[in-house]
């Protein structure tokens, strides 16, 4: 029961961080808290109160105008409908039991108007950063979550395979994207983590395919020639292996960065290592960020090495 376990972890984390209410806006956080199936749109979403978890009642409240895709542990009373009018939204939220008396309200993010909304709904509440509690719950994975990541990886591998089959001199990145999305959609997983799946550099084609199954992301990558031959660059492979070997509980982002740099490669601007679960997650280790991140047992990590047009990727479960 992945939903019940996630819910338990979230409420435990709220207790540990002394939060009476946690306001979530990011779709992945909402999935974590409720298991509800939401309409997928590409790109970032403006931050808003899409879900509230209330410690006093142990209930989660979800912005959803209907109950389709909403798990049975949420009752109709736990749903509030879509509003374009902030006053109507505030009126819906005001009905949530336990919100008005909250002392500490954590949020997943903020917008310039958000503190005013919280002040109106919970006048005595201190507004605090809710992300430490969110990530305390999310960052280590249950066995079922890891199984979901593996299922998504199997779909991603199928998407990768169909791109490899489509390789031929003159093939374009967009043609490869076309066959990839067709394949993952036909396997029931139509929302790619990223549409940047193919990068052609001269005769080299770096393929990095992802997939999302039940909200969880998996991925697989490698390098081929435009003629369809798998090619492994020794530097790229060695750099990947050095970082993977450094991935263990207690290691820091700085340890991973040093493992990478020890192979003579400059730090990439895009993440070398990131958490993987309900999409991309912390810890994120890239040029300029992530030195202080600390790895822990139970984390799922994606390690990607990119060297001179080559790519190699491995998922690591600590």
Judged by CB under 8 A, the chain residues 14 through 53 that form the site for another protein are: 26-28, 37-47
Contact between 269 and another protein by CB under 8 A: the answer reads yes
Residues numbered 71 to 110 that lie near another protein (CB under 8 A) are: 76, 79-85, 88, 107, 109-110
Which residue among 57, 101, 111, 262 contacts another protein (CB under 8 A)? Answer: 111
Which of 58, 69, 227, 250 is in the footprint of another protein by CB under 8 A? 69
Among 71, 282, 298, 309, binds another protein (CB under 8 A): 282
Q: Which of residues 157-176 bind another protein (CB under 8 A)?
A: 174-175
User: Of 44 and 234, which has the nearer Cβ to another protein?
Assistant: 44
In degrees and rounded to multiples of 5, residue 28 shows phi and psi of -65, -40
Characterize 174-200 residue by residue with b for buried, 16 or more Cβ atoms within 10 angstroms of its Cβ, and e for exposed: eebbebbbebbeeeebebbbeeebbbb
Cβ–Cβ contacts within 10 Å for residue 31, how many? Answer: 21
List the x/- string, 187-206, binding to another protein by CB under 8 A: xx-xxxxxxx----------
3-state secondary structure of 244: helix
Q: Is 280 in the site for another protein (CB under 8 A)?
A: yes
Four-residue CA torsion sign, 232, 236, 241, 244: negative
Q: Does 306 bind another protein (CB under 8 A)?
A: no
Under the binding rule (CB under 8 A), the answer on residue 304 touching another protein is: no
Q: How far is the CB of 234 from another protein (least distance, A)?
A: 27
- The CA-atom distances, in angstroms, between 297 and each of 170, 251, 294, 317 are 45, 10, 10, 8
Whole-angstrom distance, CA of residue 192 vs CA of residue 212: 6
Task: Quote the least distance from Cβ 305 to another protein, whole Å.
Answer: 16
Residue that is written with structure tokens 């390789």 in the block: 167
Shortest Å distance, C-beta 207 to another protein: 14
Cα maximum dimension of the chain: 66
Find the binder of another protein among 56, 126, 203, 291 (CB under 8 A). Answer: 291
**26 DSSP assignment:** S
Q: Quote the least distance from Cβ 55 to another protein, whole Å.
A: 19
């Amino acid at each position: 029961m992945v939903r019940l376990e996630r819910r338990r972890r979230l409420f435990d984390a709220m207790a540990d961080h002394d939060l009476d209410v946690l306001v979530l806006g990011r779709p992945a956080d909402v999935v974590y808290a409720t298991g509800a199936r939401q309409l997928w749109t590409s790109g970032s979403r403006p931050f808003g109160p899409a879900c509230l978890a209330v410690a006093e009642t142990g209930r989660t409240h979800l912005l959803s105008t209907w109950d389709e895709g909403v798990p049975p542990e949420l009752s109709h009373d736990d749903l509030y409908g879509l509003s374009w009018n902030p006053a109507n939204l505030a009126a819906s939220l005001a009905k949530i039991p336990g919100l008005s008396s909250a002392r500490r309200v954590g949020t997943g993010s903020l917008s310039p108007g958000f503190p005013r909304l919280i002040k109106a709904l919970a006048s005595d509440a201190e507004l605090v950063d809710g992300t430490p509690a969110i990530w305390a719950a999310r960052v280590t994975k249950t066995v079922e979550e890891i199984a979901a990541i593996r299922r998504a990886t199997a779909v991603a591998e199928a998407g990768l395979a169909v791109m490899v089959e489509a390789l031929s001199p003159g093939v374009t990145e967009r043609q490869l994207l076309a066959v990839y999305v067709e394949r993952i959609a036909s396997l029931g997983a139509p929302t790619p983590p990223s549409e940047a799946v193919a990068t052609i550099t001269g005769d080299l084609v770096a393929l990095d395919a992802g997939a999302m199954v039940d909200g969880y992301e998996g991925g697989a990558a490698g390098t081929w020639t435009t003629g369809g031959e798998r090619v492994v660059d020794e530097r790229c492979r060695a750099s990947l292996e050095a970082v993977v070997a450094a991935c263990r509980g207690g290691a820091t982002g700085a340890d991973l960065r040093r493992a990478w740099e020890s192979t003579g490669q400059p730090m990439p601007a895009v993440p070398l290592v990131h958490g993987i679960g309900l999409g991309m997650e912390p810890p994120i280790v890239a040029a300029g960020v992530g030195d202080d991140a600390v790895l822990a047992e139970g984390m799922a990590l994606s390690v990607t090495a990119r060297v001179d047009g080559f790519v190699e990727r491995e998922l690591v479960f600590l």
